[in-house]
């Protein structure tokens, strides 16, 4: 499932976007600092308003200039005793600092040289006089005002903690539609009636039909459940309220229930709307499960949601859509008719769906002519829409690393190997003995996969360390399988045991390299006996895996069968594995020469594809192979 490069939606209707640096009030936070800066600037400017920038002389130099008959006139400030005098040869003013009062000799000197003496008294301006008095008070008042605004903002945040955190998407903006959702024709068809109801609810009211109040989208992660919900809102042309289950939970008691009430009140004001809750299992788990009591905050939130859904009328025009990948842990009251009474399964995409999804993702990428979407879709069974998007992106990254201008089929092969097998660990160096053991181990897997009639076809085998494995044997199914026959499961077990058995045949001893194969084989055999009824001694009885402990459903419960039945189950699991081991030994013994050929080619080329393995098997059957009975020496 894919979305074709949709642009981020604008802010919800009726809500102003949050401007960085701005508080909840009408004044920005930085305005207070501007006011303080202006006050300080005015104060400094007023203090320096009466300062003179003229030349300054000492009092002795001033008297000497008077004696030389160079001074024309002077002004004497009675407050700070500053003397500003003018010279006869120009209008330049000179400044000096005199005594508190002129002596008789100085006055006589001024009279003798005809210097005009003008006493003045300079007084500061009104602003300069008031600022020293009121500035401390203004600073104190401003501090208390800032503290009050801060407390008011904090109280406002506390009082609004019960408000819903849902994001509103309006129908006026370009939204997601079903054209942006690739594949899933059945899912679109099933959910179309919800769109028809939201477009014209009166049509349903006239007949008396009741549309489902809640639609639950169930599917594995990455299948596009959220995208489908957005597409429903885009097709219906109604407001879309989106919220996640974790948004209801806070450390304060009762916040979750309050947010549920606010969410539904907001939806009712809009008339027709869609409420979408992603990951509803975070608040919709079974009540009373686990060690907590009935007063758990999560349970109170769920109770409020159940009550709000019961309060709906049949045609009010509000539909709830929720998404989860864990429907088994949801509370039964949430799934009963009248609430989430419709479940729409969004499975992993089939072959045709994968083709459409790949076409959407490669639309805006430069593709080479050798890229075949059909081949890529057949080689990616079990991948979700998110996995396919990642595959296309990895192929583009490989093209960029290789300096190519287009994404080719080889880049998709590299990307698929990286997604399925992991990153190649080129820095790991194996000893010759380890490399030989890995080659025979992977050759055993590959040979069984190529020879057995019910096994998935072999795609490639490699002894290059990738991810956590020292070598990888990759199989690709030809068709989509929905049920598995017993002969297919048994051949699959033989392929799993092929690596360990090849090591025992060649080296007469096993190794730790088969640990993961044994775990998978034991798990499969256990399901055959306990869940799939494929044991004659146990019979048509099934015991599924125990419930999740964190739910508390089976915390105090034991197993459902007796000790005698447990012994029979263990014996049957062991019998199946031993039988498959004997069959695997027979297959490898009959094709021992082919095993040596495949191992030799792996040691030489490190990677061999499935067609080459088939050719080597045919070559070994056409005649004896030299050295087929001895281990191939590591190169």
Provide the annotated active-site residues: 442
- DSSP secondary structure string, 190-224? HHHHHHHHHH-HHHHHHHT----SEEEEE--TTS-
User: Are the C-beta atoms of 166 and 241 separated by less than 8 Å?
Assistant: yes
Cα dihedral: 199, 201, 203, 204 (round 10): 130
DSSP letter, residue 350: -
Alpha helices, H only, 379-485:
385-401, 409-421, 432-451
Q: Would you call 137 exposed, middle or buried from its count of C-beta atoms within 10 A (0-12, 13-18, 19+)? A: exposed
What whole-number distance in Å separates Cα of residue 635 and Cα of residue 633?
A: 6
- CA dist 487 and 598 (Å) reads 26
CA distance 277 to 241: 8
Contact in structure between 435 and 603 (CB atoms under 8 Å): yes
Indicate the SS3 state at residue 439.
helix
Q: Which two tokens stand for residue 6?
A: 């949709």
| Three-class secondary structure assignment of 43-71 | HHHHHCCCCCCCEECCHHHHHHHHHCCCE
Placement of tokens 């021992």 in the chain: 592
| Burial annotation 290-320 (CB, 10 A radius, 16+ → b, else e) | beeeeebbbbbbbbbbbebbeebeebebbbb
Given a contact cutoff of 8 angstroms between Cβ atoms, the answer to whether 217 and 225 are in contact is yes
For residue 190, the number of C-alpha atoms closer than 13 Å in the C-beta half-sphere is: 15
Q: Which residues lie closer than 8 Å to 459 by C-beta, 6 or more apart?
A: 379, 474, 475, 476, 609, 610
DSSP state at residue 427: T
Sheet bearing 71-77, strands edge to edge: 55-56, 93-97, 82-87, 71-77, 116-120
Cα(167)–Cα(154) distance, rounded to whole angstroms? Answer: 23
Rounded to 5°, the CA angle 468-474-475 comes to 145
Q: Measure the N-to-C terminal CA separation of the chain; round to a whole number of Å.
A: 47
Antiparallel, parallel or unpaired: β 342-345 and 214-218: parallel
Nearest to 305 by CA among 357, 261, 351, 250: 261
**Burial status of residue 479 (CB atoms within 10 A of its CB: 0-12, 13-18, 19 or more):** exposed
Residues whose CB falls within 8 Å of the CB of residue 589, separated by 6 or more in sequence, listed in order: 505
Residues β-bridged to residue 343: 216
User: Exposed, middle or buried, 406 (CB in 10 Å: 0-12/13-18/19+)?
Assistant: middle
- 3-class secondary-structure state, position 434: helix
- Spatial CA neighbour of 459 closest among 430, 428, 427, 416: 416
Distance CA 595, CA 613 (A): 10
């Amino acid at each position: 499932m894919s979305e074709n490069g949709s642009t981020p939606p604008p802010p919800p209707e009726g809500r102003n976007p949050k401007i960085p640096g701005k508080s909840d009030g009408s004044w920005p936070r930085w305005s207070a600092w501007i006011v303080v800066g202006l006050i300080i600037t005015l104060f400094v400017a007023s203090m320096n308003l009466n300062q003179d920038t003229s030349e300054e002389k000492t009092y002795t130099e001033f008297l000497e200039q008077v004696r030389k008959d160079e001074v024309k006139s002077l002004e004497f400030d009675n407050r700070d005793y500053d003397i500003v005098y003018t010279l006869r040869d120009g209008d330049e003013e000179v400044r000096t600092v005199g005594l508190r009062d002129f002596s008789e000799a100085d006055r006589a000197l001024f009279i003798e040289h005809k210097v005009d003496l003008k006493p003045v008294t300079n007084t500061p301006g009104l602003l300069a006089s008031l600022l020293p008095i009121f500035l401390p008070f203004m600073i104190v008042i401003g501090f208390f005002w800032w503290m009050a605004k801060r407390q008011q903002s904090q109280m406002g945040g506390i009082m609004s903690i019960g408000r819903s955190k849902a994001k509103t998407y309006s129908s006026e903006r370009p939204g997601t539609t079903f054209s942006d959702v690739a594949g899933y024709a059945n899912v679109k068809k099933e959910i179309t009636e919800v769109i028809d109801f939201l477009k014209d609810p009166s049509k349903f009211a006239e007949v008396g039909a009741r549309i489902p109040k809640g639609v639950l989208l169930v599917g594995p992660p990455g299948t596009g459940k959220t995208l489908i919900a957005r597409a429903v809102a885009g097709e219906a042309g109604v407001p879309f309220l989106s919220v996640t289950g974790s948004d209801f939970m806070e450390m304060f008691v009762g916040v979750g229930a309050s947010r549920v009430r606010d969410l539904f009140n907001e939806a009712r004001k809009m008339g027709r709307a869609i409420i979408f809750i992603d990951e509803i299992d975070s608040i919709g788990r079974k009540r009373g499960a686990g060690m907590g009591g009935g007063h758990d905050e999560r349970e109170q939130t769920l109770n409020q949601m159940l009550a709000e859904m019961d309060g709906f009328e049949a045609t009010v025009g509000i539909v709830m859509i929720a998404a989860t990948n864990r429907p088994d842990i949801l509370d039964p009251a949430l799934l009963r008719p009248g609430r989430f009474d419709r479940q729409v399964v969004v499975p992993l995409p089939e072959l045709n769906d994968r083709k459409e999804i790949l076409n959407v993702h490669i639309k805006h990428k430069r593709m080479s002519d050798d890229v075949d979407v059909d081949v890529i879709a057949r080689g990616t069974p079990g991948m979700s829409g998110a996995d396919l998007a990642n595959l296309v992106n990895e192929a583009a990254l490989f093209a960029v690393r290789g300096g190519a201008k287009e994404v080719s089929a080889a880049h998709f092969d590299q990307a698929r190997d990286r997604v399925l097998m992991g990153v190649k660990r080129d820095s790991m160096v194996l000893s010759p003995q380890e490399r030989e053991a890995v080659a025979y181990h992977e050759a055993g897997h590959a040979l069984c996969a190529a020879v057995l009639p019910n096994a998935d076809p072999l795609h490639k085998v490699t002894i290059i360390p990738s991810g956590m494995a020292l070598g990888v044997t990759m199989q690709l199914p030809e068709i989509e399988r929905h049920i598995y026959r017993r002969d297919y499961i048994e051949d699959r077990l033989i392929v799993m045991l092929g690596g360990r058995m090849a090591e025992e045949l060649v080296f007469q001893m096993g190794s730790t390299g088969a640990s993961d194969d044994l775990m998978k084989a034991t798990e499969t055999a256990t399901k055959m006996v306990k869940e799939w009824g494929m044991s004659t001694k146990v019979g048509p009885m099934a015991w599924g895996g125990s419930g999740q402990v964190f739910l508390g459903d089976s915390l105090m419960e034991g197993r459902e069968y007796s000790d005698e039945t447990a012994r029979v189950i263990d014996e049957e699991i062991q019998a199946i594995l031993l039988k498959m081991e004997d069959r695997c030994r027979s297959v490898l013994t009959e094709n021992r020469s082919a095993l040596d050929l495949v191992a030799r080619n792996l040691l030489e080329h490190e990677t061999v594809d499935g067609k080459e393995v088939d050719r080597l098997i045919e070559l070994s059957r056409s005649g004896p192979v030299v050295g087929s009975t001895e281990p191939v020496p590591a190169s």
